[in-house]
Chain A
Amino acid sequence: MKKILIIEDEEILLDLIQKRLTQEGYKIYIARNGEEGLEKIKEEKPDLILLDIVMPKMGGFEVMERINKDKEFKDIPIIIISNSGQPVELSRAKELGIKDWLIKTDFDPSEVVGKVKKQLNN
């Protein structure tokens, strides 16, 4: 069973994605900020990370910077869940090596599933 870590501070969205992806048969781990997320990455070694950008304690960019420095984890595919979808934000995320992104208001849960599947089937 593939393991997905969702790092998202917004409780409802977190809950919704978790439910939807569980339905698809994935093992889901959750973290509510970047710090917690890094710990979970080390503990669980997920196959994919869904990462929010603006979060308390540690944001998504810093999480990516940390992962990139770690040989063991730097190849885990990351999909950004962005609130604003601002070009500045996305271009920085791309530089940090994300695989894909989605903008919260533009996507719905089934599309998220589509993006996840695409990454994990590669």
Chain B
Amino acid sequence: MAEEKEVFISRQIKEDLENLERYVEEFSKFLPLPVYTINPTGIIVDTNKAANDLTGYNEEVIIGKEIEFLFENKKLVREYLNQALENKIIKNREVILISYNKKRISVNISISIRKDDKDNIIGCFLAISDITKIKGFQEGLERKVEERTNDLEKAKTALTNMLEDTQEAKEKIEEEQNKTRAVLTSITDGLIVFDKDKRIALVNPDAEKKLKIKESDVLNKKIEEILNFPAINKLYEAIGQKIEWTGQKYELILEKPIRRFFDIFITPIASKEDVIGMVIIIHDITRDKEISRMKTEFVSIAAHQLRTPLSAVKWSLHMILDGDVGVISSEQVDFLQKAYQSNERMILLINDLLNISRIEEGRFIYSKKECSLEKIIKEIIDLSTGLSKERKIKLIFKKPEKQLPKIKIDKEKIQVVVQNLIDNGIRYNKIGGNVTISLKHDKLFIYVTIEDTGIGISDLQHNRIFDKFFRADNAVKADAEGTGLGLFISKNIIEAHEGKISFKSKKNKGTIFTFSLPIN
């Protein structure tokens, strides 16, 4: 009975076992996880559907093969197996599986050992998880990252290049700025540069020195804000309390520490067509003034000194010619007269030089008084009849149609002008020619016209006719005596009276000089 019972139990156990095996088999077939069952020597003893599907090897082929057969890195797989058999946990180790179709598949393997009831190792399961997709994704990601990195690298390179270009451009600009600044710094005129809003953008060292200011104290300020600097205040007054481009030249005088004179210019700074600022230029003319003054003074003193001996010669000759010191022969008279005339010419030249030095000293027009211009002109005409008869020139005076108003003039100076113009008319005429003097007026001016029928002035020399010491070529030929100062002096006299002088001329036909004098 006991035997029967044992047989029954063992049959029952056997049946249970068989059921369990079938259950495991079915279950493992159903499992989506590829699993190989391996014995302790590494021989595949079982497989499942998922494993067959993944590797492409069916049961008949794969069972009995060593497990590393399935993988590329066989040694490593055997190593993992050995480690697992030594109770180490092998989980998710990445290896490459070679499929039946020779396809390389990235997989993770995990190995877990099988033991019997007596704790003996009887083999192990090797589970494979396909990580191709993840791997692919990862690789895609990596590729993307790489691409992005490349893009970024490229962008970085481009940016670096751009930065370098910008840096270069910046350096160039800085270099230009430095150059400009160096030029402005070394320039010997004072410069104050204003920006568009008329704030100070630059003061060069020369201006700092001249105006006794420091650039750092006035930078970005408007001129109105720094009038506490005495020199700036004076400058501001000198330019009419505004920074504007008038094309005008202003004069600045600074008294301390020594009296100095400056020409002030205001110029716009233009970029293309926009005005981007203004610059005040301060040019020291103290030395020029001094030289000019010395020159004028020299001429003045020399002329004065020359007058005394010339007077002595004149008076001596005159007394001999008058017979005051005894009778002289007609031949002696002739020579003495020539000497006397030469001396007179010298006196005239000296007088002209003195007049010029007075013009240049700015103290030429002395006193204006109310006079009749007509009367002055008539007197000069009377005085000129000697010369005109000698040269066989007819002097014609045309009386004005309307009575002329009296005007305030420096009589002696206007006499000089009229004398010069009539003299020229006679000297640079042709024998038998005319000099016609006429007068007219309107509400504002009296106009005096002196017209001759003489040699005229060549077109080429028109613009030089009022220059100091200038004599036209044909004038030199016609009369060697002139000084080239008469018209220069005349122009200065007329302009000092706020009048104008001009001429029209045709070579070999004649010249018409006209000057105007304001009626008060």
Smallest CB–CB gap between B158 and chain A, Å?
83
CA of A104 to CA of B311, assembled, Å: 6
CA of A16 to CA of B325, assembled, Å: 11
- Let me know if B11 is at the binding interface, CB within 8 A: no
Chain A residue with Cβ nearest B346: A105
Q: Are A105 and B324 in contact (CB under 8 A)?
A: no
Smallest CB–CB gap between B419 and chain A, Å?
14
Chain A residue with Cβ nearest B311: A104
Q: Are A105 and B304 in contact (CB under 8 A)?
A: no
Q: Are A108 and B318 in contact (CB under 8 A)?
A: yes
Smallest CB–CB gap between B379 and chain A, Å?
16
Q: Are A20 and B324 in contact (CB under 8 A)?
A: yes
- Let me know if A1 is at the binding interface, CB within 8 A: no
Secondary structure call for the A interface:
helix
Q: Are B318 and A12 in contact (CB under 8 A)?
A: no
Q: A12-B316, A20-B324, A109-B322 are in contact. Are A104 and B367 (CB under 8 A)?
A: no
Q: Which of B294-342 contact A (CB under 8 A)?
A: 304, 307-312, 314-316, 318-319, 322, 324-325
Q: Are A105 and B311 in contact (CB under 8 A)?
A: yes
Secondary structure call for the B interface:
helix
CA of A20 to CA of B308, assembled, Å: 18
- Let me know if A119 is at the binding interface, CB within 8 A: no
Q: A84-B304, A104-B308 are in contact. Are A109 and B315 (CB under 8 A)?
A: yes
CA of A110 to CA of B323, assembled, Å: 11
- Let me know if B176 is at the binding interface, CB within 8 A: no
Smallest CB–CB gap between A35 and chain B, Å?
20
- With a cutoff of 8 Å between Cβ atoms, the chain A residues found around residue B358 in the complex are 86
Q: Are B367 and A109 in contact (CB under 8 A)?
A: no
Number of B residues near A (Cβ < 8 Å) is 24
- Let me know if B412 is at the binding interface, CB within 8 A: yes
CA of A23 to CA of B323, assembled, Å: 12
- With a cutoff of 8 Å between Cβ atoms, the chain B residues found around residue A17 in the complex are 315
Contact of B308 among A13, A108, A109 (CB under 8 A): A13
Q: Are B311 and A109 in contact (CB under 8 A)?
A: no
Q: A87-B367, A105-B351 are in contact. Are A19 and B324 (CB under 8 A)?
A: yes
Smallest CB–CB gap between A83 and chain B, Å?
5
Q: Are B315 and A13 in contact (CB under 8 A)?
A: yes
- With a cutoff of 8 Å between Cβ atoms, the chain A residues found around residue B309 in the complex are 12
CA of A20 to CA of B307, assembled, Å: 20
CA of A19 to CA of B312, assembled, Å: 13
- Let me know if A62 is at the binding interface, CB within 8 A: no
Q: Are A105 and B319 in contact (CB under 8 A)?
A: no
Query: Most chain-A CB neighbours within 10 Å: which of B324, B347, B363, B366?
Result: B324
Write the residues of chain A forming the contact surface with B, with a CB cutoff of 8 angstroms. 10, 12-13, 16-17, 19-20, 23, 83-84, 86-88, 91, 104-105, 108-110
7 A-B pairs closest in CB distance? A104-B311, A108-B318, A87-B366, A12-B312, A105-B347, A16-B315, A105-B311
Pull 25 A–B residue pairs with CB atoms less than 8 Å apart, ordered by A. A10-B311, A12-B309, A12-B316, A13-B312, A13-B315, A16-B312, A16-B319, A17-B315, A19-B319, A19-B324, A19-B325, A23-B324, A83-B308, A83-B311, A84-B304, A86-B358, A91-B366, A91-B367, A104-B308, A104-B315, A105-B307, A105-B310, A109-B318, A109-B319, A110-B322
